[in-house]
Structure 1
């Protein structure tokens, strides 16, 4: 098990290194992560490579039997490169160039940047390919973070036109797919196609979706090129990863494709950051962890785990005593097997001087140091269990094309796909159930329950997969606007909604409404609790064909239309939640479904999470109190922000 810190010795006088290493080792660490922003230190002048500083760092680490994850430094290029080749700089939508001074300002479609990035990566990895202390290479840093996945420069424009030409082969095929006859947008040649910068009203939805796919292709082709370079030069004992940043559902690239060539997934776990007065809901943190485990369907590393308060210009919430430890336990529960904290010491200069670490600017060993030391000491005794497999019976699906389609046409000013995914995820999280967060392309046969939030893009082949799943006894839960569009981001014609899953759900939808204030819904079955509730964001006015009605709208104009239905299909069941139903209703439905499917679940007080893991027939329970209040678990007191592992509940 690797437990450690992100350490940047180049930020400090070299004479501090010995004392730093001593304290890091005494804390219980056995690994450090270094180098991802140090390009200039390695190549102060073009072609003059100098790794002597890191030679010294590695020698110190070796003396203490400390392993190293080394980052290729391509996220922050040197000033001389920007001066010599300004074309490497990316552009905002308004045409302004992202000048040197921040980070990740490069354009993924710059052949010049790819050449320089490939050279520094190959020189660095070749220099250390025999170094046994270095066990992993991190490619770049937080791909796509802070808007760096988007660029509108002339290089991107040209490559976008080439991308479309390769996809559609001839311009008539593109015109037909896009429906460019509308608003007279018809093209005679691929070179007439614009980069979708701001215009009056909006661009063609099919064009916008292809633009999003192109952005994903641009970033991921760069990542794959850099990965291949590292693989060609690394030692056989060294693995390859990249650190996934948060906010992945709002990014312009497909994360599964991004990590496809990596040996394992790494994640930067920040339940709170600058500007937030409190952490995000613990279900969102859990979902983020499950998402990263689902990228390669395997356990993952966390290479930046929060300990201190964070912020660049605006500082966020200070993790309470024990709270960061609790987040660490939550991560281990959900599939993290190796963890590094960000960062060893907060920097006193530069843009991240308000990103606090384990050691603060007074350089003293305090509460946070002892908290990390405790995590390292305790979790090592559970290493085998932490590495045991996680095999959920519940999965929630996403598709990046679908997410991007919603971003371009949200249909309601308050629509947020992440929130709608969480709307279906939270009820099962509330019952402490293991959940996989996976792409819609994955095999579903190992699951009993599949949640499908707002999947408006469904083609016939996917519908057939859903039918097979339900016929064999699976339970499907669709939410509103399911199946309205095809893969080109066009509405299905002439299918009755919800398109190819209409018979599967046993319903028809002829009218829908975007909601800007909540509407009431009421139960139609005696055993349904609660008896009434509310819905927001959207309502499909559902007409059952073979489905039974669970909830109807309380609306004299639409009282004969359903809000939530259930249809028996083969040996399975298909629920259609045609509105943004409230938490109480969805919690009740989740509880009934879990009970009927015989899936282990546990009701706990709000804010208390219990995650069951099994190893060699024995159960273990991660217990995490996400609140500042005392909680009870079967008569046992769980203190505020307490976290522990127990053998029985």
Structure 2
């Protein structure tokens, strides 16, 4: 089992490395990650490769009994490369070159950068292919993070034109698909197409969606080139990974396409970052782990687990005593099978001198050292058992085309895609239901409930599979704006919303409204309950569906907001607005009870995860609250985490 820290020995004097390793061993570390920002040390001048420093580090690591995950250093290139090949730099939307000095300034479509990266990777990986201590290779570092997935240079424009020509074949087909007759934008050739930089008003929505697909393809191509080079050169026992960043629904590439190329997925887990006054919600962090686990439907690694306060310039929230330990245990409970804390020692120079880790600038073993040691001791008792498969009873579904479609046309100033995912995920997290976060192309048949947040792009294939799922007894939950668009990001013509799922939902929608900041639409349930919705509201007419909530509005009191329809053996719910938490909680509890899924009632802030490990049923707990809570007559301290040690009978704990 991988239990480790992210280590940058090049930041320190050589005589400090062995003492660092000794303290790591005391903490329970068995693995270090190194090298991902050290291109200049490997190749200080073009074509002059020197691995002697790292040979010495590996000798010392092996002597200390430490395994190594080696990062390829292509996220930061050396100054000589920038000066000699300025064309590798990316450009911002205004055509300004992103100059040397930060990181990830490269253009994914730069042939020269691809060439130099692959050459270095082959040299590095082949040099250490026989080193038994090198157990894994991490390709690059957080692909596309911090806006690096978007570039507006001429290389990208030329590549975009080739991408479109390959997709459409001839310009007339593109013109027809895009509807370029509108605003007189008809093209005579692919060479007339430009990148969608700043313009007056907005660009064509179909072109913008193709631009996102192009961006995703560029990241995937770069990743594939590097990963192929690693596989050609690595040792037989060495595995291949990549550390994905958070914010996966805000990126311009499909994480799943990269995950397909990996042996195992890795994730950098930061529930809080510089500038945030408090961490993101427990449900938000839980959803991230469920997303990562489901990329390859197996356990994943945490390559960077936050331990100290973080920030490049603005420093964030200080994790409270035991809080980072609790976040670590949350990750383990939800599918993490190995973890490295970021970072071992805080750097006293450079851009990340306020990114604190296990050992702060004072160089003392303190609270965080002891917390990390405690996490490792606890995790080691289960060990490889954390690799046991997990399968949710609830699936929350996403589709990158749909995500990008919303970025192109938000419809409401209040709209945020991640918020809408959480709106359907959080109520099931609250009742501790086992939940997967899966792409829309995945098989639904193994689930009891499928939640489909704001899926405005629904094509014939997805519609058909959802109908089959409901016919066979499954429960579906749609939220607003579902089914209004085709795969090309154009609206269905001649269809009443929600388009291809209208019959499935048993409703029709003739009018809708965007809600503005501070504006809520009041709801009244058929049972007399009160609620509200924000962001958006569909004016729903029920045909075969039953109405659960109507609008408490003199103009629209006959219009429904939330409905349920019997379809085959299943039930289909439609939530026509951004319903408030109380309404969604009541709805999720009703749906869960009717679907027969396993849930666990718990005090506010106490997260429970039930899973089977090595044939044994376990119930993990994480107290996200800063005060003690009581559960089943047992007091659980602030930010405490663990597993219940008594002989476990799930029936005694279920809601």
Q: TM-score, normalised by structure 2?
A: 0.98
Task: Specify the SS of the correspondent of 2:65.
Answer: coil
Question: What residue number does 2:346 align with?
Answer: 346
Question: What residue number does 2:270 align with?
Answer: 270
* CA–CA separation in structure 2 for the residues paired with 1:524 and 1:434: 30
Question: What residue number does 2:526 align with?
Answer: 524
Question: What residue number does 2:198 align with?
Answer: 198
* CA–CA separation in structure 2 for the residues paired with 1:639 and 1:336: 23
* CA–CA separation in structure 1 for the residues paired with 2:634 and 2:419: 33
* CA–CA separation in structure 1 for the residues paired with 2:375 and 2:613: 21
Structure 1 segments, 4+ long, off by >6 Å, are none
* CA–CA separation in structure 1 for the residues paired with 2:614 and 2:16: 46
Q: Does 1:82 align with 2:82?
A: yes
Q: 1:384 Cα deviation (Å)?
A: 4.5
Q: Does 1:50 align with 2:50?
A: yes
Question: What residue number does 1:30 align with?
Answer: 30
Question: What residue number does 1:290 align with?
Answer: 290
- RMSD between aligned residues: 0.8
Q: 1:42 Cα deviation (Å)?
A: 0.6
* CA–CA separation in structure 1 for the residues paired with 2:40 and 2:255: 29
1:388-443 deviation per Cα after TM superposition (whole angstroms, max 9, x unaligned): 22111100000111000100100111100000000000000000111100100000
Question: What residue number does 2:585 align with?
Answer: 587
Q: Does 1:301 align with 2:278?
A: no
Task: Specify the SS of the correspondent of 2:508.
Answer: strand
Q: 1:525 Cα deviation (Å)?
A: 3.5
1:448-495 deviation per Cα after TM superposition (whole angstroms, max 9, x unaligned): 000000000011111010000000000000000000000110000111
Question: What residue number does 2:177 align with?
Answer: 177
Q: 1:497 Cα deviation (Å)?
A: 0.5
* CA–CA separation in structure 1 for the residues paired with 2:262 and 2:618: 30
Give yes or no for contact 2:545–2:563 (8 Å, CA) kept in 1.
yes
Among candidates 570, 576, 579, match of residue 572 of structure 1: 570
Question: What residue number does 1:113 align with?
Answer: 113
Give yes or no for contact 1:385–1:614 (8 Å, CA) kept in 2.
no
Give yes or no for contact 2:243–2:267 (8 Å, CA) kept in 1.
yes
Question: What residue number does 1:491 align with?
Answer: 491
Question: What residue number does 2:447 align with?
Answer: 447
Question: What residue number does 2:250 align with?
Answer: 250
Q: 1:330 Cα deviation (Å)?
A: 0.2
Q: 1:605 Cα deviation (Å)?
A: 1.4
1:237-259 deviation per Cα after TM superposition (whole angstroms, max 9, x unaligned): 11111000011100000000012
* CA–CA separation in structure 2 for the residues paired with 1:618 and 1:362: 44
* CA–CA separation in structure 1 for the residues paired with 2:174 and 2:336: 44
Question: What residue number does 1:389 align with?
Answer: 389
1:91-134 deviation per Cα after TM superposition (whole angstroms, max 9, x unaligned): 00011100010000000000000000011100000101111110
Question: What residue number does 1:534 align with?
Answer: 532
* CA–CA separation in structure 1 for the residues paired with 2:395 and 2:405: 22
Task: Specify the SS of the correspondent of 1:249.
Answer: coil
Give yes or no for contact 2:74–2:140 (8 Å, CA) kept in 1.
yes
Q: 1:615 Cα deviation (Å)?
A: 2.9
* CA–CA separation in structure 2 for the residues paired with 1:625 and 1:500: 43
Task: Specify the SS of the correspondent of 1:219.
Answer: helix
Question: What residue number does 1:399 align with?
Answer: 399
Task: Specify the SS of the correspondent of 1:188.
Answer: coil
Question: What residue number does 1:630 align with?
Answer: 628
1:547-602 deviation per Cα after TM superposition (whole angstroms, max 9, x unaligned): 00000000111111100000000000000000111111111111111112211101
Q: 1:614 Cα deviation (Å)?
A: 1.4
Task: Specify the SS of the correspondent of 1:44.
Answer: strand
Question: What residue number does 1:603 align with?
Answer: 601
1:142-168 deviation per Cα after TM superposition (whole angstroms, max 9, x unaligned): 001000000000000000000000000
Q: 1:639 Cα deviation (Å)?
A: 0.9
Unmatched segments (≥5 aa) in structure 2: none
* CA–CA separation in structure 1 for the residues paired with 2:144 and 2:110: 16
Alignment of 1:147-162 (within 5 A): 147-162=147-162
Question: What residue number does 2:96 align with?
Answer: 96
Give yes or no for contact 1:609–1:623 (8 Å, CA) kept in 2.
yes
Give yes or no for contact 2:414–2:515 (8 Å, CA) kept in 1.
no
Q: Does 1:124 align with 2:124?
A: yes
Q: 1:65 Cα deviation (Å)?
A: 1.9
Alignment of 1:8-19 (within 5 A): 8-19=8-19
Task: Specify the SS of the correspondent of 2:252.
Answer: coil
Give yes or no for contact 1:509–1:541 (8 Å, CA) kept in 2.
yes
Q: 1:608 Cα deviation (Å)?
A: 0.8
Alignment of 1:290-369 (within 5 A): 290-369=290-369
Q: 1:617 Cα deviation (Å)?
A: 4.6
Farther off after superposition, 166-175 or 55-64: 55-64
* CA–CA separation in structure 2 for the residues paired with 1:268 and 1:615: 24
Question: What residue number does 1:559 align with?
Answer: 557
Give yes or no for contact 1:550–1:566 (8 Å, CA) kept in 2.
yes
Unmatched segments (≥5 aa) in structure 1: none
* CA–CA separation in structure 2 for the residues paired with 1:166 and 1:381: 53
Give yes or no for contact 2:5–2:340 (8 Å, CA) kept in 1.
yes
Q: 1:645 Cα deviation (Å)?
A: 1.1
Task: Specify the SS of the correspondent of 2:249.
Answer: helix
* CA–CA separation in structure 2 for the residues paired with 1:433 and 1:461: 28
Task: Specify the SS of the correspondent of 1:203.
Answer: coil
Task: Specify the SS of the correspondent of 2:48.
Answer: coil
Question: What residue number does 1:419 align with?
Answer: 419
* CA–CA separation in structure 2 for the residues paired with 1:610 and 1:480: 30
Give yes or no for contact 1:472–1:571 (8 Å, CA) kept in 2.
yes
Change (3 A) 1:617 1:123: closer
The number of aligned residues is 645
Alignment of 1:53-68 (within 5 A): 53-68=53-68
* CA–CA separation in structure 2 for the residues paired with 1:382 and 1:620: 11
